[in-house]
């Protein structure tokens, strides 16, 4: 086939060479025009040696007696209709070949197209092809396909011509006048559009009718003149040879001279680029490869070894990268655990040819599944092979370590992004701010918000609220006020979610007056407080032991049909416990249980402290047992309250055990409580001292 192709190229013009290389539909000027191609090919297919007298007149040249054949018309003349037909014809034939032989390489299909063109040329010009080697004969089915394609192309061109002509009549004055009249009488929309097309078609048919009448009149007049002898009829010229085209073929597409040799180079570069842009198709998994794939799907990722089966799959399918990727997708749909093991195994497969993006994709999948150790192992394998993480990998690492709560590694991945001169987007900033907030460093989160504003990245409402809640939880009033001001400058209107952290911040700082001021501002703005907001306000009064103001607040809210919820009752339980109002505290606890809600952790802390100081060891140990089971969610101040209450109630063994749990969590006691615990363990107390402690508190 390669030898035949080279021969064909040596016998054809440079345009056929470009036809082989260029995927665009280029014309074959050796063929006939669109109007006569169907009939001519049919004549030549039935008669290998056609009679020149049966050829179309535009391809025949009259040769006078004893005179040499005249050349064809000027090479510079362009036939737009012929070029359009040939362009569509070659494009359709190329598609038929690709559809019939999808597995053949592109070079082979282009060579087949060349052979078809060479046979058509040989049928049209047998005299020119006599000196060359005879081309390969085409089958009857192939010639039938050529005729079908020619018919479809002619029909498409006819439809385009009708549309173009109809478009002309759509804008004629007569149709416009009728549409204007229809609009005046109230016809609108789709109905008017249908009428406009109907009138345009009628106008076109009318013009065609009179045009045909004019042609018939001229034909009849010509025949009448011939009968009267007014017109002499010349003898039919004898045809002795077919015309030969000389010079270079010129063909233009949208003003570009495609006969220029530079387009051959462009087509070759495009063909190379297609290999990188157009994705390959995976091979069909059938037969032996299908059986091997079924065995892969049945493997246990924890027990079975995937390497032998993957090796067998590679041999059965001659797997390429696209085949491995298709297999991974099917494994992921079937078994996610098996997918992780298979994807990690393919990173060492040479035929898979892993890239940085494959490592990044696997790290991201591990991260979303919560498999941080597996993600880090994949990252280490990537570094061992000398592949440095790119920007996308660093972004995935920022999200992963932020979700895992590892602030140091989050900062490390974020700094690497900055070193790459990458402008972090909103998601990256949000992940880093979340890491700072979870680590109890809202000040650094606020700094990143300022950086976002300077670089034109607009922080969202959720980011502001996240940092605001962090400031409020640690009682940093100044930071909370700065965030509220930044939200106002950003055009974010205050609502309940922004008022609650600010009131909580003042409550944590022990400033009930400022907290009440913002609470009243919220009420005047028409925003009704919820249970959490009211609990923060009551807690602020509780720190100053302003019971009368707390009662006044609750009575005022009760008039507005507000009912204290679990959060408010939990604060009141702790307050009543400090005031030794055991019955009132137990009544509130019973009320919370009757509401169907589970007792919050803060209530158990208050009960344990209250019962310990009251000397009720049984109930104190019951609450302590609940707290030991939930110590992983306790805060440092809650640990200190429990230890302080146990020491005050002389439950020293329980206090020491809970203090050890507190140290394991990484919290430390204040100096006063630590000294009290050490003193209680070293100095035994009399019964009277116990009663005094139970009465007055620690």
How many angstroms separate the first and last alpha carbons of the chain?
102
Quick: pLDDT tens for 623-646: 889 998 888 888 888 888 898 888
Provide the residue count of the chain.
698
Residue 469 pLDDT level (bands cut at 50, 70, 90): very high
Residue 144 token pair: 């039938």
Q: What is the pLDDT of residue 552?
A: 92
Is residue 171 over pLDDT 60? yes
Letter string b/e over residues 608-637, b meaning 16 or more CB atoms within 10 A of that residue's CB: bbbbbbbbbbebbbebbebbeeebeebeee
Question: By C-alpha distance, which of 27, 50, 67 is closest to 123?
Answer: 50
Q: What is the pLDDT of residue 572?
A: 92
Is residue 8 over pLDDT 50? no
What pTM did the predictor assign? Answer: 0.58
Q: What is the pLDDT of residue 434?
A: 93
**614 within 8 A of 582, measured Cβ to Cβ:** yes
Quick: pLDDT tens for 411-463: 999 998 888 888 889 999 999 999 999 998 999 999 999 999 998 899 999 99
DSSP structure class, residue 355: -
Distance CA 35, CA 33 (A): 6
**12 within 8 A of 29, measured Cβ to Cβ:** no
pLDDT (average), residues 153-170 = 85
Residue 31 pLDDT level (bands cut at 50, 70, 90): very low
In sign, the C-alpha dihedral spanning 269, 271, 273, 275 is: negative
Is residue 579 over pLDDT 90? no
Quick: pLDDT tens for 99-109: 888 888 888 88
Distance CA 541, CA 538 (A): 5
Distance CA 371, CA 415 (A): 23
Is residue 366 over pLDDT 60? yes
Q: What is the pLDDT of residue 243?
A: 53
Least confident of 11-25, 135-149, 472-486, 511-525: 11-25
Is residue 540 over pLDDT 80? yes
Percent share of the chain, pLDDT over 90: 28
Residue 218 token pair: 């001229």
DSSP structure class, residue 59: G
Other C-beta atoms lying within 10 Å of the C-beta of residue 567: 19
Quick: pLDDT tens for 544-565: 989 899 999 999 998 888 888 9
Other C-beta atoms lying within 10 Å of the C-beta of residue 39: 14
Quick: pLDDT tens for 124-137: 556 545 545 555 67
Quick: pLDDT tens for 585-615: 999 999 888 888 888 989 999 999 999 888 8
Mean pLDDT of all residues belonging to the chain: 79
Distance CA 444, CA 455 (A): 17
Q: What is the pLDDT of residue 235?
A: 58
Quick: pLDDT tens for 301-319: 888 888 999 999 999 988 8
Residue 514 token pair: 């400022």
Q: What is the pLDDT of residue 125?
A: 53
Distance CA 197, CA 220 (A): 35
Q: What is the pLDDT of residue 35?
A: 32
Is residue 286 over pLDDT 70? yes
Q: What is the pLDDT of residue 43?
A: 38
Phi-psi region of 559 (alpha: psi -120 to 50; beta: other; left: phi over 0): alpha
Is residue 691 over pLDDT 60? no
Q: What is the pLDDT of residue 480?
A: 92
pLDDT (average), residues 470-489 = 91
Question: If you search the block for the tokens 């992963």, which residue do you land on?
Answer: 400
Q: What is the pLDDT of residue 238?
A: 54
Q: CA angle, corner 349, sides to 346 and 350, nearest 5?
A: 145
**Residue 50: exposed, middle, or buried by beta-carbon count in 10 A (0-12, 13-18, 19+)?**
middle
Residue 97 token pair: 């070949």
Q: What is the pLDDT of residue 262?
A: 81
Residue 487 pLDDT level (bands cut at 50, 70, 90): very high
Q: What is the pLDDT of residue 248?
A: 60
Is residue 686 over pLDDT 60? no
Least confident of 218-227, 391-400, 570-579: 218-227
């Amino acid at each position: 086939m390669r030898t035949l192709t080279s021969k064909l190229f040596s016998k054809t013009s440079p345009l056929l060479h470009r036809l082989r290389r260029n995927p665009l539909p280029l014309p074959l000027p050796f063929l006939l025009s669109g109007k006569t191609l169907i009939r001519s090919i049919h004549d030549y297919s039935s008669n290998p040696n056609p009679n020149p007298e049966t050829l179309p007149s535009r391809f025949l040249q009259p040769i006078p007696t004893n005179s040499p054949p005249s050349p064809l018309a000027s090479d510079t003349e362009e036939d737009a209709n012929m070029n359009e037909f040939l362009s569509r014809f070659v494009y359709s034939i190329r598609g038929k070949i690709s559809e019939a032989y999808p597995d053949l390489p592109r070079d082979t299909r282009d060579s087949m197209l060349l052979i078809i063109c060479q046979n058509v040329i040989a049928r049209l010009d047998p005299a020119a092809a006599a000196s060359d080697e005879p081309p390969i004969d085409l089958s009857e089915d192939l010639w039938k396909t050529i005729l079908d394609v020619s018919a479809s192309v002619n029909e498409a061109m006819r439809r385009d011509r009708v549309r173009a002509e109809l478009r002309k009549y759509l804008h004629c004055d007569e149709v416009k006048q009728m549409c204007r009249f229809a609009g005046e009488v109230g016809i609108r929309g789709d109905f008017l559009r249908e009428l406009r097309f109907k009138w345009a078609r009628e106008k076109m048919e009318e013009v065609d009718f009179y045009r045909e009448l004019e042609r018939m009149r001229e034909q009849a007049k010509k025949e009448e003149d011939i009968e009267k002898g007014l017109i002499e009829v010349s003898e039919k010229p004898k045809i002795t040879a077919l015309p030969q085209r000389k010079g270079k073929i010129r063909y233009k597409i949208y003003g570009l001279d495609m006969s220029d040799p530079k387009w051959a180079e462009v087509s070759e570069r495009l063909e190379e680029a297609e290999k990188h842009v157009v994705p390959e198709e995976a091979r069909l998994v059938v037969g032996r490869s299908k059986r091997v794939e079924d065995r892969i799907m049945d493997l246990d990722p924890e027990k079975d070894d995937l390497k032998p089966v993957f090796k067998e799959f590679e041999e059965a399918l001659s797997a390429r990268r696209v085949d491995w990727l298709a297999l991974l997708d099917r494994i992921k749909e079937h078994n996610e655990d098996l997918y992780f093991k298979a994807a990690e195994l393919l990173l060492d497969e040479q035929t898979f040819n892993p890239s940085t993006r494959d490592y990044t994709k696997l790290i991201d999948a591990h991260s979303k599944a919560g498999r941080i150790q597996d993600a880090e192992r994949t990252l280490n394998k990537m570094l061992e092979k000398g592949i440095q993480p790119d920007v996308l990998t660093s972004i995935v690492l920022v999200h992963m370590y932020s979700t895992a709560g590892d602030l140091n590694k989050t900062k490390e991945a974020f700094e690497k992004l900055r070193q790459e001169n990458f402008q972090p987007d909103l998601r990256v900033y949000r992940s880093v701010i979340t890491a700072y907030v979870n680590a109890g460093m809202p000040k650094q989160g606020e700094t990143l918000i300022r950086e976002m504003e300077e670089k034109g990245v607009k922080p969202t409402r959720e980011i502001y609220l996240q940092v605001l809640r962090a400031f409020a939880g640690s009682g940093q009033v100044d930071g909370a006020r700065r965030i509220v001001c930044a939200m106002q400058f950003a055009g974010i209107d205050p609502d309940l979610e922004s008022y609650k952290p600010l009131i909580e911040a003042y409550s944590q700082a022990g400033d009930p007056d400022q907290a009440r001021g913002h609470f009243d501002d919220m009420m005047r703005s028409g925003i009704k407080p919820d249970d959490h907001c009211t609990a923060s306000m009551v807690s602020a009064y509780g720190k100053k032991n302003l019971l009368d103001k707390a009662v006044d607040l609750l009575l005022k809210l009760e008039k507005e049909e507000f009912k204290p919820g679990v959060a408010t009752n939990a604060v009141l339980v702790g307050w009543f416990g400090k005031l030794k109002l055991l019955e009132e505290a137990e009544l509130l606890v019973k009320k919370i249980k009757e509401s169907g809600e589970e007792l919050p952790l803060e209530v158990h802390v208050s009960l344990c402290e209250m019962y310990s100081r009251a000397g009720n060891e049984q109930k104190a140990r019951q609450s302590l047992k609940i707290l030991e089971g939930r110590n992983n969610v306790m805060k440092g101040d809650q640990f200190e309250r429990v230890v302080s209450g146990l020491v005050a109630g002389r439950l020293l063994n329980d206090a020491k055990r809970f203090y050890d749990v507190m140290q394991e969590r990484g919290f430390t006691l204040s100096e006063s409580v630590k000294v009290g615990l050490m003193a209680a363990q070293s100095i035994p107390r009399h019964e009277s001292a116990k009663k005094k402690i139970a009465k007055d508190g620690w």
